[in-house]
Amino acid sequence: MTGSPSTRHRPTRRLPGTADEHAHAWSPAEARSRFRAGLSGPTAGWAPGHTQANLISVPADWAYDMLLFCQRNPKACPVLDVTDAGSPATVLAEGADLRTDLPRYRVWEHGELVEEPTDVVAHWRKDLVSFLIGCSFTFEGALVGAGVPMRHIEQGRNVSMYVTNRQCRPAGRLRGPMVVSMRPVPPEHLPAAIRETSLLPAVHGSPVYCGDPGALGIEDLGRPDFGDPVDMEPDDIPVFWACGVTPQAAVMASRPPFAITHAPGQMFLTDARDEQYRVA
Q: Give the up-direction half-sphere exposure of residue 139: CA atoms within 13 A in the CB hemisphere.
A: 28
Average pLDDT of the chain to the nearest whole number:
92
Q: Does the structure show a pLDDT above 50 at 15?
A: no
Q: What is the pLDDT of residue 68?
A: 98
Q: Does the structure show a pLDDT above 70 at 21?
A: no
Residue 61 gets the label, from left (phi > 0), alpha (psi -120 to 50) or beta, of alpha
Q: How far apart are CA 157 and CA 235, in angstroms?
A: 20
Q: What is the pLDDT of residue 231?
A: 96
DSSP of 183-245, one letter per residue? EEE-GGGHHHHHHHHHT-GGGT-S-SEES-GGGGT---TTS-SBS---PPPTT-EEEEEE-TT
The Cα angle at residue 100 between residues 94 and 101, in degrees rounded to 5:
50
Give 70-95 pLDDT, tens digit per residue.
999 999 999 999 999 999 999 999 99
Nearest to 138 by CA among 23, 70, 47: 47
Instruction: Map out the domains of the chain with their CATH numbers.
Output: 24-138+250-277 (3.40.1640.10), 139-242 (3.30.2040.10)
Coil, helix or strand for 249?
helix
